[in-house]
Structure 1
């Protein structure tokens, strides 16, 4: 059973999902998942896919992917083009980010629309056959279940990657949250099929790190993909298999009972806690 009090925690803005002075404009968007995803498509562009949109980034533009908060993304969108924030930008006027930015903006707007929504970190197996790419998506409660939404994937990307799945309802076997990916590897999946596209960062350590990123996001702390913390920064922690298996199970379930179990673990082991001081400093710097 999912209680409203649990869901309410995902209906209110977190440290990086407040909309700042843009709430009134965002209120003008339809309260519908497709409309929210289209808004995200129209504001952001993925750093690794700029060429597909015919965009060559000017010097310094790639630094936009270091933005954490949605309000900061929206402000940058206005700097690039001072039209109403809800209007679709030409690709060259979109804020540069990575998959995490798409997912975070999606969750922020869905929360404003009254939905329980959150960000998930894991691996997508729909961009290249046989590969599980490190990826972030949004997730919202539709009244009966949590639905995965890849708000990065627009019509151009559906054609580019020859996708047949519905990005507004991604099947659980096509996107594995961190905990599911860890369990898959423990059950015989090839760890070297899991990693970061375009890099040499592949293998079980990437799955290990994503468990922590996913757990932070479930606490409404959407870190940047390279913002590993605590035990995740120590590869030796992978040897603590009982603990990591337990964390992976929490990531996989992600329900009210799982989050209560996580809270107990966090209270007992500081190595598992997200870097709250760093998060608060970042939020202040972007305000």
Structure 2
């Protein structure tokens, strides 16, 4: 299966026509998404807070559901700027899912990548979801969260539609660097809430491999050996070699979604089941993947 095909998560469903209003050129798309979406962390940092009605937005698992919420708050075209009360309050995952849906609809090969960016906190690699796309040439990294507000806030001077690869590490790259001793695991995680460590890199490794295989879950979903690592905040010794093998396989993932899925299927426990370990109301709980 090609990366131009929608996944169960990026399919806009009955809102295909509404999604079509968004531009398919990455630079214009990043700018347009700020009319609809705001990161919850930015909302708090800028003093907006998150409206009570929007506190569950970040747990919406599909683009179809995100579009349903957005259009129920403001039915105007998605290119029209929303008032704060009518925005979607999400995470980088939601920006990436929107962008993937738009680009795939336009016939652009697009896959979501999960890893860490160094441009949000000095000296720290923050958990981050972006897109990787190509139009017949090499894959390019695209951060759809870097619209005007974010570029200004974080002093971004690089091209967000051709993100320098030194500024972003995939889950596999971060895991391998931590294991090799070239990356301090305490600098990998979520700086805003003070979590970091090899266990976090292990989860990102598996979420990235799954996303490349077309399973675009939530940033706080875990399964298999990664779920154990989340519960323990530690990767068990007996699982280190397993994560090493997955990281080696996905350091340079296959170019098609079907091949990536087949590769991931070869690792027992690497595919999520019908439910995954997730975070609900600040507690770990089993949740359906869709």
Give the structure-1-normalised TM-score: 0.87
Alignment partner, residue 82 of structure 1: 75
CA distance 1:131–1:49, shift in 2 (3 Å): same
Structure 1 residue 249: Cα displacement = 2.2
Structure 1 residue 25: Cα displacement = 3.2
Higher helix proportion, which one? Answer: 1
Give the conservation status (yes or no) of the 8 Å contact 1:53–1:91.
Answer: no
Higher strand proportion, which one? Answer: 2
Moved over 6 A (4+): none
Which aligned pairs between 1:1-287 and structure 2 lie closer than 5 A?
8-52=1-45, 55-188=48-181, 189-235=183-229, 236-237=235-236, 239-256=238-255, 260=259, 263-264=262-263, 266-267=265-266, 269=268, 271-276=269-274, 283=290
CA distance 1:170–1:38, shift in 2 (3 Å): same
Task: Output the CA distance in 1 between the equivalents of 2:84 and 2:109.
Answer: 30
How many residue pairs match? The answer is 275
Task: Output the CA distance in 1 between the equivalents of 2:63 and 2:15.
Answer: 10
How much is the aligned-residue C-alpha RMSD, in angstroms?
Answer: 2.4
CA distance 1:53–1:114, shift in 2 (3 Å): farther
Structure 1 residue 237: Cα displacement = 4.6
CA distance 1:249–1:49, shift in 2 (3 Å): same
Structure 1 residue 90: Cα displacement = 3.1
Give the structure-2-normalised TM-score: 0.86
- Larger mean CA deviation between 83-92 and 122-131 belongs to 83-92
